[in-house]
Chains A and B, each alone.
Chain A
Amino acid sequence: MGARRYLTAKVVQALFTLAFVLVFNFFLFRILPGNPAQILARQRRLPVEAVRELERDFGLKDPLPQQFVNYAGDTLRANFGISFKFRRPVGEVIQGRIWPTVLLVGVATIGSTVIGLLIGIYGAWRRGSGFDMGSLGFSLVTYAMPEFWLGMILLILFASTSGLELFPLGNIRTPGGPASGIAHLLDVGRHLFLPALTLILALLGEYALIMRSSLLDVMGDDYIVTARAKGLREAQVLRRHAVPNALLPTVTLVALNLGFVVSGAITVETVFSWPGLGLLTVEALQAPDYPLLQGLFLLFSVAVIVANLIADLIYGYLDPRVRVA
């Protein structure tokens, strides 16, 4: 398959997935109990006429296909409706919360990938050693841990008065504190440390395991044996041949894993009052704020689809079989 065809196929596939999510999202929120307009009115003491007006606004009286056309059009124009809770356009509400999550998920992903890979490589290289066994055990335990529970434990240990009080208890920065410059960055970093650490710990076990097993796989391959036979030192074999090839599945996994990271971010943000999309999701859930939930769900889905596409493209780029053939 040529590179272009591969690329096209993947992009088309992603577009189809997007379309599916769009349709799915539409129907998901049409099977809601009750009538959104009525729910909204109940919370605000609106007279009956106003409820009817709201129904018109929501287009709930239209036939279903018409509703879908309106919905699809609105979505493509990035018009996700008005948040029940915040009474502002959903897009705007979400926009205000994107960056904290990007920061948290970004740092956690980079941190867990780098540390996880290193642990995995070293574990595979020294297979059966104390380090290998220890890291394997550690990886399994953190994988088995609900990340919010880990977060609560870390919070008690490192931030609470009964613990070490090294870090703040929550939020992204000190209110009234520096809003720009180095001091601001340091402030945000201090707040970021525990939630990011929680996510990193929760994720790195899996990466270490994958790296380890994929490296073990590769190290039995013929060309590694050949490389060894050529008289390369073990470290060189590892660095120049085994690791680069074993990286492939792991890097792909990192991108594929975004959905999982997002899930982790939801609970971790809740524990640490990190004002990102995860916390917003929980707020929307508690309201419940269906337009906002719908918008968030769509956004998360799109992010994951795009990440998958990127993973496919990286895979295509890195895997010589796809690239060259």
Chain B
Amino acid sequence: MSRWRSLVAAGAAAATIAGLTFGGAAAQTPSPSGSAAGKLTFTIGDDNDLDSMNPFVAVEAPAFQIFFLTYDFLVNLSQEDLSPSPGLAESWDQSDDGLTWTFQIRDDATWHDGQPVTAHDVEYTYNRILEEEQGSFIDYISLIDTIEVPDDQTVVITTKEPTLQLLTALVFILPEHIWKDISTEEAGTFENNPPVGSGPFKVVEWEKGQFYRMESVPEYWGGAPRIDEFVYRIFNNEDALVQALRAGEVDFADSLNANPFNSLKETTGITTHEANIPSFDEIGFNVGANDTIPDADGHPALLDVRVRQAMAHAVDKQVILDRVLQGYGTIGTTIVPPFSAAYHYEPAEEDLFQFDLEEANRILDEAGYEDTDGDDVREMPDGGEPLRFRYFVRSENNSTVQTSQFVQDWFNQIGIATEVEALDDTTLTDAIFEGKYDMFHWGWFPDPDPDFILSIFTCGQRPPDGIWSDSFYCDEEYDRMYQEQKTVADVAERAQVIFEMQKKVYEDAPYIVLYYDANLQAYRSDRWTGFLNQPEPDGDLLSGYGNYTFVNLRPVTKGAAADEEEGGSAFTWVWVGLVAGPLLLVAVALLIRRRKGEEDRA
């Protein structure tokens, strides 16, 4: 989802780990008071902490894990190919003029507290988002004009323009009877613990900074999950998680780095998977912040499309993919990832900016950027400012740091100097927002629907009025096409427009899209089966955009829990006792003596 940028930012390269643990953990420890034996439990591990259970404020991935399982969408994205499929709405209908949508709400859905889910909840949720302009969700439903509820099972929505937007709206439907008591002001800090939803799992325990636990909801309209509960554990160290997976303490590791992923490949009982996700990393340029921000200070050479194209020729994406990502992912080209198969445009071979330093040098020579003072750095055509760019990378993401060392080397060879600086995300966001940068390395994790990622190149998104543009790219023709694609209701027709848009951005090169990274996952295939890719054939095994895996997941064999830990536990405690006991005794003895000594002297 688009809003994950600020958090998972750059997507999969971030060292997030999610793991599913076999219920072993509970079964392994002798537990007179704990959960009953024989319970089927998952534990998801992560090195990212949960921020909030309130969907209006949460941004971290573990929170979305909860939302996917707690709440439903009005219309789901199907597991096979992300096409619209029944969610809380079992069917829907678009009027002939394309402006009116009628959704039939299923009558077998209930909130976790027993109340029925009705059309009013949908109406309430959408209205609240529209009225409060809830930033993370409003873009999905911004074209809504009116919402009416003729009866409890029917929602009629009219839109300002014909659109398919409502079928891909990733908006969690919230229960009106809970949220109506939460005012706009309170919503910002409302804890929402536990969240009441209509999904297949509900939160039963949250130990902050440690884990949360969810239990299955057998009454779920989509069928009862086959597991009883799962736990999401928070680690702070990828190593520890990988070890936990190996030891069987954790059964699923998500978003791994290449190294640990490689180390798991040879392990028996563990299967690895390179999941196709909508994610890419780019080098972005400041192509005109001065247009909207007077005191912006981007380098003038970057306004010249030829300079950007020359730089695009000077980046060997294959080397970066092989050396930095160790080959996991594919070479990047355009801004709509291949994940959105219907909309991804791949430039023809002859249109690609091939890695060719001579060509890059030729373009720059031709454009009049020459090294006039013999320092191996080209100057502007007027002989003034040298082509020396500030190049910001993310201190939070080591891949960007590593990439910069390659890019710097290549750029040196075409007479462009770069000053690489690692910034934290906040500082980098500030620099971009103020237009005080030349180039940077960051990434996006777009929605399956390309609308959002296309929107960031529109003129209106440029700061300070807009928020999402980080290249200050602005092109009238592009903006026109953006509006056009929003209202074309035919997929193939819309794709044509979107292809043109991608082609334009590729050629104008405000971005050099480096690679589409993969989400590296590993799991205990000796224990669990029933994982579902979303989408087929190689999508995410956990929650891509739904709860499919969690509902379908089941153990390979029953009672696989090992009791090896128990021995360790007993052993440990004998050990601790042996060491600590005498020490304590001595300490007490010493203290007593000390008091006595004092009395003696007194």
Q: Which residues of A contact B (CB under 8 A)?
A: 33-34, 38-39, 42-48, 50, 82, 85-89, 93, 96-97, 100, 111, 114-115, 117-118, 155, 159-161, 165-181, 183-184, 186-187, 189-190, 193, 239-241, 243-244, 247, 269-273, 275-276, 279-280, 282-283, 286, 288, 320
Residues on B with C-beta less than 8 A from A50 are 133, 135
A177 and B213 CA atoms in complex are apart in Å by 11
**Among candidates A38, A39, A166, residue contacting B572 with C-beta atoms closer than 8 Å:** A166
Q: Are A172 and B573 in contact (CB under 8 A)?
A: no
Q: Are the CB atoms of B465 and A48 closer together than 8 Å?
A: yes
Given contacts A39-B426, A176-B231, 8 further A-B contacts (CB under 8 A): A39-B430, A114-B586, A167-B572, A176-B25, A176-B41, A183-B29, A190-B569, A279-B209
Give which listed residue, A47, A87, A189, A240, contacts B51 with CB less than 8 A: A87
Specify which of B243, B573, B597 is in contact with A241 (CB 8 Å cutoff). Answer: B597
Contact partner of A273 (CB less than 8 A), chosen from B29, B31, B236, B576, is B236
Contacts A88-B189, A161-B243, A180-B33 given; does A170 touch B236 at CB 8 Å: yes
Q: Say whether B583 contacts A45, CB under 8 Å.
A: no
Give the distance to chain B from A33, nearest Cβ to Cβ, in Å.
Answer: 6
- The answer to whether A273 and B52 touch across the interface, beta carbons within 8 angstroms, is no
Chain A: which residue is nearest B47 at the CB level?
A: A273
Give the residues in chain A near B366, CB-CB below 8 Å: none
| Contact indicator B396/A286 (Cβ below 8 Å) | yes
List the B residue with the shortest CB-CB distance to A276. Answer: B209
A34 touches B25 (CB 8 A): no
Does any Cβ of A come within 8 Å of B504's Cβ? Answer: no
A41 CB → nearest B CB, Å: 8
> Separation in Å of the B567 CB from the closest CB of chain A?
10
Cα of A118 to Cα of B234 in the assembled complex, Å: 38
Give the distance in Å from the alpha carbon of A85 to the alpha carbon of B49 in the complex: 10
Q: Which B residues touch A174, using CB under 8 A?
A: 25-26, 28-29
Does A177 lie within 8 Å of B26, measured CB to CB?
yes
Q: List 6 A-B contacts (CB under 8 A).
A: A44-B3, A176-B23, A176-B213, A190-B573, A243-B594, A273-B236
B133 touching A178, Cβ below 8 Å:
no
**Do A82 and B189 contact each other (CB < 8 Å), given the known contacts A33-B430, A167-B572?**
yes
**Residue of A89, A186, A273 with most partner-chain B CB within 10 A:** A273
B136 at the interface (CB under 8 A from A): yes
A86, A88, A155, A170 — most chain B CB neighbours (10 Å): A170
CA distance A116 to B593 in the complex (A): 18
Give A160's nearest chain B residue, CB to CB.
B243
Which residues of chain A have C-beta atoms less than 8 A from B30's C-beta?
Answer: 178, 183
CA A171 – CA B41 in complex, angstroms? 18
| From A100, A179, A183, A279, contact of B236 by CB (8 A) | A279
When the two chains form their complex, are residues B31 and A193 in contact, meaning their CB atoms are under 8 A apart? Answer: no
Q: For residue B569, which residues in chain A have a CB less than 8 angstroms away from its CB?
A: 186, 190
Interchain CB contact (< 8 A) of B54 among A87, A187, A193: A87
Of chain B, the residue at the smallest CB distance from A283 is B49
Across-interface contacts of B41 in A (CB, < 8 A): 176
Q: Which of B104-112, B148-156, B244-252, B285-293 contacts A (4 or more CB under 8 A)?
A: B244-252
Q: Quick check: A178 and B33 within 8 Å, CB to CB?
A: yes
Within 8 A of A (CB), among B551-582: 564, 568-569, 571-573, 576, 580
Q: How far is the CB of A57 from the nearest CB of chain B, in Å?
A: 9
- Contact in complex: A280, B209 (CB < 8 Å): yes
User: Is B374 at the interface (CB under 8 A from chain A)?
Assistant: no
Give Cα distance in the complex from A193 to B598, angstroms.
36
- Give Cα A160 to B244, complex, Å: 8
**Contact A33/B427 with A87-B51, A175-B25, A176-B35 known, Cβ cut-off 8 Å:** yes
Distance in Å from the Cβ of B391 to the closest Cβ of chain A? 19
Within the complex, the shortest CB–CB distance from B242 to chain A, in Å, comes to 9
Q: Given A48-B465, A167-B572, A275-B208, are A175 and B590 neighbors across the interface (CB < 8 Å)?
A: no
- Give Cα distance in the complex from A166 to B29, angstroms: 14
CB distance A175 to B211 under 8 Å?
yes
Judging by beta carbons under 8 Å apart, are B189 and A87 in contact?
A: yes
- A286–B233 CA distance with the chains assembled, in angstroms: 19
Per the 8 Å Cβ criterion, residues 25-70 of B in contact with A are: 25-26, 28-35, 41, 43, 49, 51-52, 54, 57-59
> Are A168 and B249 closer than 8 Å at their CB atoms?
yes
Contact for A183 among B31, B246, B580, CB less than 8 A? B31
B191 close to A (CB within 8 Å): yes
B576-A189 in contact (CB<8A):
yes
Residue of A nearest to B58 (CB): A87
Residue of A nearest to B233 (CB): A175
Q: Is the CB of A43 within 8 A of B6?
A: yes
Interface membership of B235, Cβ < 8 A = yes
Q: Is the CB of B429 within 8 A of A275?
A: no
Contact of A45 among B135, B189, B236 (CB under 8 A): B135
CB of B231 within 8 A of CB of A190, answer no
A161 near B572 with CB under 8 A, answer no
Q: A160 contacts which chain B residues (CB < 8 A)? A: 239, 243
- For A165, the chain B residues whose CB sits under 8 A away are 247, 564, 568
A169 and B429 within 8 A (CB)? no
Give the residue name and chain of the A residue nearest to B464 (CB): A48
Whether A169 lies near B240 (C-beta < 8 A) is yes
Q: Does B178 contact A (CB under 8 A)?
A: no
Tell whether, in the assembled complex, residue A86 and residue B52 are in contact, meaning their CB atoms are under 8 Å apart: yes
State A93–B569 Cα separation when bound (angstroms). 32
Contact A86 B249 (CB under 8 A): no
State the Cβ distance, A310 to closest chain B Cβ, in Å: 17
Which residue among B208, B209, B427 has the maximum number of chain A CB atoms within 10 Å of its CB?
A: B209
Residues on B with C-beta less than 8 A from A155 are 239-240
A68 and B135 alpha carbons, distance in the complex (Å): 32
Interchain nearest-CB distance for B136 vs A (Å): 6
Which of chain B's residues has its CB closest to A164's CB?
B568
